[in-house]
Amino acid sequence: MKLSHGFTFLKKKFSYGANGKVVVRPCRESITRTRQKMRKLAYMEARGEITPEQAARSYQSSRGSLQHYDAYRTIRALDAHYRALRSENAPGGVAHCHRPEKSRIERHGA
């Protein structure tokens, strides 16, 4: 395997930049998991299970871990997604109607 194609190691995607610098980004699965977590937090906040401060603190923790990578555009996209979820949490917003995904056992039976 050529190193110019990049590789994933310990949830980090390593590749070469245009100038030969090694670029370290978060793997795609980690970003997907972060978005799922954000949706679940918005749902829990809408139901009153957690406070808005707790949801914001959890998001800031996830965002802070991404700042160690070369992931400026990814962080901006997650910020936009977070703002969209927060605006949906207004009374009568989409988050009030959202149902979390069922677990594997609930979908397929025990």
Question: What is the per-residue pLDDT across 79-100, written as a single tens digit (0 to 9) for each?
Answer: 999 888 888 655 434 444 455 5
In a domain, 90, yes or no: yes
Domain containing residue 58: 28-100
Q: How many residues does the chain have?
A: 110
> Considering its fold, how many domains does the chain have in total?
1
**At 76, is the pLDDT very low, low, confident or very high (cuts 50, 70, 90)?**
very high
Residue 86 lies in a domain: yes
Q: Does any domain span residue 10?
A: no
pTM score, whole prediction: 0.69
CA 9 to chain centre: 19
Distance CA 89, CA 33 (A): 20
pLDDT for 99:
55
Q: How high does pLDDT run on average in the chain?
A: 81
Share of the chain above pLDDT 90, in %: 15
Query: Does the pLDDT at position 46 exceed 60?
Result: yes
Asked whether residue 11 carries a pLDDT value surpassing 80, the answer given is: yes
Q: 2 in a domain, yes or no?
A: no
Which of 80, 43, 39, 79 has the alpha carbon at shortest distance from 60?
79
Average pLDDT of the residues in 61-65: 88
